[in-house]
Copies of this chain bind each other. A is one copy, B any other.
Amino acid sequence: MTLRMSAPRPISFSAFGRRVAPTAIARLMSAALENPRLLSLAVGFTDNATLPVEPFRAAVEALTRRPGAPEYLQYGTNPGRPLLRERIAARISRAEGWPEGRVAADQILVGNGSQQILHLAAEVLCDPGDIILLDRPSYFVFLELLRGLGIEARTLPVDAAGRLDFAALEVAIGGWRTSGELARIRGVYFVSYFSNPSGRTLGADEKRGLARVLAAHGLVVPVIEDAAYREMGFAGPSAVPSVLALEEWVAFPRLYAGTLTKPFATGLKIGYGCCTDETWRAKMLHAKAGQDFGSANFNQSVLEEVLGNGAFDAHLGRIRAGYATKMQVLHEALLAGGLAGAGWRWQRPEGGLYLWLTAPAELDLGGDGAFFRACVETGVLYVPGELCYGDAPERNCARLSFGVLAEADLREAARRFCAVAQQQRG
């Protein structure tokens, strides 16, 4: 006998409760379960083979052998450990080429991965029906969390090369003004470095131009720069200035979000935000206090430790080379599979975990289409690009991750993908 489920009595859920839905990844995963020998180019996990077991063990040793109270096993504070926030602030300063003290620990808040920071930022800014502007393609998890909150997305137009198209943006803004949508725009979001999903890095000229156009139309709204992959450049962290550093953005309330665990150990799940607006940061922290009153103190202690003793950067050095190699393996396997000859296009990313493919326009790579089904049957999974658009989705794109699979599996997964591409071209 098992614990009886309640009698099927319909619960009256909140508007939020009625809105939230399974994530795309959850749906993809259930597709994946149908084929146990499936190789996943979909999941954005990092490489198990390069997880930092030794530095982690050493950090725990150092913590547990330290004299004094084992406060790392005790509750912490809601904004995050002060020393960790100091180290994060110094790290951001270094990334911008500033002296270490320019960013203050008081501008930092620590979260359960950068995802929690993004969620807090959005929920204190937007009511259902409000609008966030974002890049195209954009991070589909962010799009999903917006949907859960009832927030609408509008995308910033791009040209054929994927660069922000300001002439088109002027036209779009004109349209939003006419439609009344302009007044509902509450913020701007973009993934600026080695983007998930596109692999692109926004140029400083693009960021500057965007601020100018928005300001010219009175859209001086909060901006969220998602810098999750900035440190994962194959040649080192990207030196392109963030919105924290660009003069054109000074008037905008800015939140710069990053993660400490994507480049180290995702199982520890610690992210951060650096916010230039005191009220916005305070409101995110008030919201966080209701949700968990601070991220796990132990995890923060470990990150504090490895940021302080150099292990974090040493690890980053090792994985950069590893991901560069794996990207190259995937790239060459796609070439070898004849994808370029069949009219597919992609840029080799210079960092991050993702390679973004554009198929010939007539191909539909959507999650409920024949191509996707054929891939699952053939034993390879990808993220349909259509999931990465706030509006007007492109259906001939795909995100391939080279993060998880070992080199041989990457080659095999690419071979299967290319086989389907050959088969489906007509």
Contacts and interface: CB of A to CB of B under 8 A. Distances in A.
A149 to B, nearest CB: 8
Interface string A266-300: 11110000101111101100110111111111110
A51 interface: yes
Of the listed residues A22, A56, A298, the one surrounded by the most CB atoms of chain B closer than 10 A to its CB is A298
A166 interface: no
Nearest to A93: B3
Given A124-B13, A251-B7, A74 B103 contact: no
Interface stretch (A63-71, A328-336, A385-393): A63-71
A57 interface: yes
Contact of A74 (B222, B267, B277): B267
Nearest to A60: B60
Interface residues of A, number: 100
Nearest to A47: B74
Contact of A252 (B6, B72, B123): B6
- Tally of this chain's copies: 2
Interface in A223-278: 244, 250-254, 265-269, 274, 276-278
B5 A267 contact: no
A141 interface: yes
Nearest to A262: B75
Contact of A69 (B48, B69, B251): B48
Contacts of A381: none
A284 to B, nearest CB: 9
A283 B26 contact: no
Given A4-B250, A20-B124, A102-B3, A292 B57 contact: no
Contacts of A203: none
A186 B289 CA distance: 23
Interface stretch (A125-133, A169-177, A367-375, A416-424): A125-133
A378 to B, nearest CB: 25
Contact of A11 (B56, B253, B301): B253
B253 A283 contact: no
Interface in A67-106: 69-76, 78, 93, 98, 101-104
Contacts of A297: 266-267, 269
B72 A2 contact: no
Given A45-B74, A292-B113, A298 B267 contact: yes
A256 B187 CA distance: 38
A53 interface: yes
A144 interface: yes
A51 B69 CA distance: 9
Contacts of A283: 13, 17, 20
B253 A268 contact: no
A292 B270 CA distance: 10
Nearest to A142: B290
A93 B1 CA distance: 12
Contacts of A16: 123-124, 127, 287
B73 A289 contact: no
A178 interface: no
A102 B291 contact: no
11 contacts: A3-B244, A9-B251, A12-B125, A14-B126, A15-B127, A23-B78, A57-B61, A116-B292, A145-B290, A267-B298, A296-B299
Given A75-B267, A145-B291, A268-B296, 4 more contacts: A11-B253, A14-B186, A20-B124, A51-B73
Interface of A: 1-7, 9, 11-17, 20-23, 26, 45-46, 48-49, 51-53, 56-57, 60-61, 64, 69-76, 78, 93, 98, 101-104, 107, 112-113, 115-116, 119, 123-127, 130, 141, 144-145, 148-149, 186, 220, 222, 244, 250-254, 265-269, 274, 276-280, 282-283, 286-287, 289-299, 301
